[in-house]
Structure 1
Amino acid sequence: MQFSRKKKLLSNPQNELYGHCLQFYSQPPTENMSLSEFETFAVERLKLLKTVENLGVSYVKTSDPYHKKLYAELTNLNFPHKTEADDRKDQTGLTEFEKRRKDHISHFILRLAYCQTEDLRRWFIQQEMDLFRYRFSDLPARYKTEFLHRNNLQYDTLSVEEKRKLAVKLINSSYGVSGATVEEQDFYKVPFQDALDLVRTRKVFLQGGYAYIPHQDIISIVLNDFRTRLSKALALTARSLPAVQSDERLQPLLSHLSHAYVGQDYSIQKNIGKISLEQIDPLSAKSFPLCMRQLHKSLRDNHHLRHGGRMQYGLFLKGVGLTLDQALQFWRSEFVKGKVDADKFDKQYAYNVRHMFGKEGKRTDYTPYSCMKVILSNAPSQGDYHGCPFRHSDPELLKQKLQSYKLSPSGISQILDLVKGMHYQLACQKYFEFTHGIEDSGFSLNHPNQYFIESQKLLGGGGGGGGGSKEVKSEPEMPQKGQNMAAKTPSTPHPQTQALSKQDAAEMEDLDSLFKDE
């Protein structure tokens, strides 16, 4: 019975394609699939790569916390993480082969989305390399060898006699290698230019133009090969992209994927009307992300915001719980303090506010802007206050703003380093940690309204419910004093994956035209 089972697996096409838990993605998928499954696979791999990016900046890539968190994400999103595979289903209802199929297909879908520009290709390659590095390093030795054989990576293995002759040099040149391990493990002889990372860090023995690499460090060579193959594949994919984009079903989806938000849909709220207008000022100081805090202050100071600011801030306030009536009262009371009287507001601005709440025009329930949308679309110009302060502010002005909020010099330095590396969302997440006096926020920040909810959960104000309080530092770097706590609000639903709407770009264009100043 066991023999016939093994024979059945070997003759199965899926075992030929997905017989190993890791692959170079050399063979594109050829099967038919539904558009719904196509979209789901794309979204879930994008969520995985976003996690890889965030963890890569927040943790050392070889550390236990990095491995544990990445393993958890692979498990949660049903990507393969087992070395053995069969046709048995786990608690998720999927077999390991089905997870490997998802891994394979989703990689190629994102190739289509991320081959379009040099910046997108660079980002995609980096995240896929980090994911590959983790998965290869996590393999037992025999599965690493099997992977090399399956992909025709023929490296010269030193014979026992050669290892004995070079034993002293191999021990002195290779980290973690002793006399016993020299005999027990394989060493590979490869051209030194294929092992530059190891040569640069002085981890290998060099002789006659060759690097002698212990088995545990072969990842450096394999990763270099993976990078080369993927880079060439993306260039080839870019050439054939026009044929794919001619498909009206796929073109909007692929265009949107490169800056997609894949978190909770904050247009669906259970806490509408649970925040009073009097709470907005104190909430802005302690629970608003910097982008919304900046907009609120500008509105209070100038009694006006241009259309970009009204769109970004208005939808955010809708997401945190303002009703339509409250929003109309809020905007009217502020504008009439400036150069707009009540009659002019009702004629020129009230319609725009009702439109945001889906009460005018197309009656669309517009979604509050995600971080990616704030960062990538409608950059602010002179006189504007919208956008992402970490992306659109001059670094010196940003530094002054952070100093005015009493952040410590070391905290400001960490935030500015993230900004310099173009990790704007991580800079905002670091700002969250410093202003709330915690070491680790415990979430990946992707949305201004997510920032608000997590802040309220931490401060005990509800704002999304669940999760409990996180451990607070004994000496917070930016204490909040003399401010009233927001009223508690009911729990929001558990975050669901937001579908990649084909109307997303049209939504913003529609709102943009409505909010134009005279």
Structure 2
Amino acid sequence: MQFMSRQKKLLPNSHTELYGQCLQFYGQPPLENIALSEFETFAVERLKLLKTVENLGVSYVKLSEQYTKKLDQESKNLNFPYRADADDRKSQSGPSEIEKRRKDHISHFILRLAYCQTEDLRRWFIQQEVDLFRYRFSYLSSKQKLEFLHKNNLQYDAISVEEKKALQDKLVNSSYAVSGITVEDQDFYKVPFQDALDLVRTRKVYLKAGYVYIPHQDIVTIILNDFRTRLSKALALTARSLPAVHSDERLQPLLNHLSHAYVGQDYSIQKNVGKISLEQIDSLSGKSFPLCMRQLHQALRENHHLRHGGRMQYGLFLKGIGLSLEQALQFWRSEFIRGKVDADKFDKAYAYSIRHMFGKEGKRTDYTPYSCMKVILSNPPSQGDHHGCPFRHSDPELLKQKLQFYKVSPSGISQILELVKGMHYQLACQKYFELTHNIEDITFSLNHPNQYFVESQKVLGGGKDIKREMDTPQRSQENSGRGSAAAREAAAAANASQHLAEMTEELDSFFQDA
């Protein structure tokens, strides 16, 4: 199947011209034909890259040595342009480098279609793309930066040697990290002040007669502002075109799913069935359940009932950690009959849905536990509900009280609330994991409640993988931010031979309305 364009396919020399530079503003959309399988692969792998950018941006100082090293490695694993490419002059226009830039270009525009649909999605997409752009701009040489400026009509002129000498004291006193010894060798750009408001606000530049004088290393601030503005406008325009795109029955489901996409382990294959006993659940909920499942378990124990959304979210989670169908029926029946539901009513009204989620009724689908993205973005809770993500759906004051009740330290609560304020809900959950397990820096990117449980059991087992049976075969590539570089490379190699058509089936299964 082909994703066809109304325009003619690009010729090879057009590729060379379009991807002649290793960085771009994505001003020109792709014009070529592309297979639907490649469309999916590019989109999923760019989403992995942006998830890594988000995670690293909170875990490390941006552009620090650790930050760039990890992002270099992930870009390399996913075959996107990365720092080493900028240093390898021989590969700048080679076939492999052109292919990386082509993938980067096309995948950006695919995710534009997926992430232009709501304000929250647009905000998240812009922030990660801006951070990715900052990282890539930082590895350009001075010559490449100037070429990039001129190619994108950012005609900021470098001031003359005479003007630098005349303003030397002013430039030294106002410009961060510029010494008198290096001013003469340092390029300064004369820019209208309205194009550099962030630098003016933080008093990092010299301002005179409506212009600011920006040292070469700070010009990135101007570029980022311009990139952010262009991308914001482009997403608004893309949103207007969505009705036409959604008329294509091949693309509409894919685009809807991408904004909710989880591309890691699905926890549906139950090699660990029966490993968890009913008597363990109360204890495990306090030690190894993520906050979303902990609150559902507590609500069930207190109220002896959960509404449909809570039963699905919690029921599939319990299925994923090893509860068998027989155990699940016993668990829910014993809890519900303590409330206002007798055994006969439970068998008639609720037992069917439990068998259904285990694939024993209806279309007999083996439903997968909900990922963090699905919990956050679909079926928000209303009054009386207890499902959803506490970091996304709880009032901040209520969340604070809940964390205090669970004995999270005041400084830890402040860190979590700051992440919530920045809409980094999964990272807030990751911080909750670190604080409740006394770990300073976890080595995985948290994307699934069942992953939280597995990793918690590893930690509590003293580093031993006591739930190794739960590490099921993956139907998709390993999550981008997870584990060591060696582990990621091994996972990529293991998945390389999988048929691309499998990804379509996988994405469909992730988003079934169970």
Q: Shorter-chain-normalised TM-score: which range?
A: 0.7 to 0.9
User: Does the alignment pair 1:425 with 2:404?
Assistant: no
**Paired residue type of 1:248:** E
Per the alignment, residue 44 of structure 1 pairs with: 45
Check 1:182–1:454 CA distance in 2 against 1; reply closer, same or farther (3 A cut).
same
Check 1:491–1:265 CA distance in 2 against 1; reply closer, same or farther (3 A cut).
closer
Say whether the 8 Å CA contact 1:205–1:213 is kept in structure 2.
Answer: yes
Say whether the 8 Å CA contact 1:309–1:386 is kept in structure 2.
Answer: yes
Say whether the 8 Å CA contact 1:303–1:334 is kept in structure 2.
Answer: yes
Any residues of structure 2 matched to 1:4-43 within 5 Å, and which?
12-43=13-44
**Paired residue type of 2:323:** L
Which SS does the other structure have where 1:363 is aligned?
A: coil
Say whether the 8 Å CA contact 1:86–1:96 is kept in structure 2.
Answer: no
Per the alignment, residue 279 of structure 1 pairs with: 280
Per the alignment, residue 494 of structure 2 pairs with: none
Any residues of structure 2 matched to 1:259-408 within 5 Å, and which?
259-408=260-409
Per the alignment, residue 8 of structure 1 pairs with: none
Per the alignment, residue 237 of structure 1 pairs with: 238
Per the alignment, residue 477 of structure 2 pairs with: 497
Deviates more, 1:495-504 or 1:17-26: 495-504
Per the alignment, residue 191 of structure 1 pairs with: 192
Per the alignment, residue 203 of structure 1 pairs with: 204
Instruction: Using the TM superposition, give the Cα deviation of residue 85 of structure 1 relative to its aligned residue in structure 2, in angstroms.
Output: 6.7
CA-based RMSD: 2.5
- Aligned sequence identity (%): 78
Unaligned runs of 5+ in 1: 1-10, 462-467, 470-485, 512-518
Match of 1:507 among 500, 507, 512: 512
Distance 1:407 1:320 in 2: 25
Distance 2:133 2:245 in 1: 27
Instruction: Using the TM superposition, give the Cα deviation of residue 87 of structure 1 relative to its aligned residue in structure 2, in angstroms.
Output: 7.0
Q: Deviations over 1:111-148 (max 9, x none)?
A: 11122233322222221111101110122222222322
Say whether the 8 Å CA contact 1:284–1:292 is kept in structure 2.
Answer: yes
Instruction: Using the TM superposition, give the Cα deviation of residue 70 of structure 1 relative to its aligned residue in structure 2, in angstroms.
Output: 2.2
Q: Deviations over 1:10-65 (max 9, x none)?
A: x9433322122111111111111111110111111112112222322333324333
**Paired residue type of 1:441:** I
Instruction: Using the TM superposition, give the Cα deviation of residue 394 of structure 1 relative to its aligned residue in structure 2, in angstroms.
Output: 2.8
Q: Deviations over 1:377-422 (max 9, x none)?
A: 2222333221222222233332222222222121122222222333
Instruction: Using the TM superposition, give the Cα deviation of residue 294 of structure 1 relative to its aligned residue in structure 2, in angstroms.
Output: 1.2
**Paired residue type of 1:382:** Q
Check 1:320–1:505 CA distance in 2 against 1; reply closer, same or farther (3 A cut).
closer
Check 1:397–1:170 CA distance in 2 against 1; reply closer, same or farther (3 A cut).
closer
Instruction: Using the TM superposition, give the Cα deviation of residue 358 of structure 1 relative to its aligned residue in structure 2, in angstroms.
Output: 0.9
**Paired residue type of 1:48:** L
Check 1:164–1:60 CA distance in 2 against 1; reply closer, same or farther (3 A cut).
same
**Paired residue type of 2:131:** D
Unaligned runs of 5+ in 2: 1-11, 479-502
Instruction: Using the TM superposition, give the Cα deviation of residue 489 of structure 1 relative to its aligned residue in structure 2, in angstroms.
Output: 4.5
TM-score w.r.t. length of structure 1: 0.85
Instruction: Using the TM superposition, give the Cα deviation of residue 204 of structure 1 relative to its aligned residue in structure 2, in angstroms.
Output: 1.3
Q: Deviations over 1:121-179 (max 9, x none)?
A: 22222211111011101222222223223323221111222222222222222112223
Per the alignment, residue 80 of structure 2 pairs with: 79
Which SS does the other structure have where 1:507 is aligned?
A: coil
Distance 1:291 1:123 in 2: 22
Per the alignment, residue 464 of structure 1 pairs with: none
Q: Deviations over 1:203-256 (max 9, x none)?
A: 111112111111111101111221222222222222222221111101111122
Distance 1:317 1:198 in 2: 51
Which SS does the other structure have where 1:188 is aligned?
A: strand
Check 1:96–1:357 CA distance in 2 against 1; reply closer, same or farther (3 A cut).
same
Check 1:372–1:80 CA distance in 2 against 1; reply closer, same or farther (3 A cut).
same
Per the alignment, residue 472 of structure 1 pairs with: none
Say whether the 8 Å CA contact 2:20–2:93 is kept in structure 1.
Answer: no
Distance 1:375 1:453 in 2: 20
Instruction: Using the TM superposition, give the Cα deviation of residue 101 of structure 1 relative to its aligned residue in structure 2, in angstroms.
Output: 0.9
**Paired residue type of 1:369:** Y
User: Does the alignment pair 1:416 with 2:421?
Assistant: no
Higher relative contact order (CA 8 A, sep 6+): 2
Check 1:384–1:259 CA distance in 2 against 1; reply closer, same or farther (3 A cut).
same
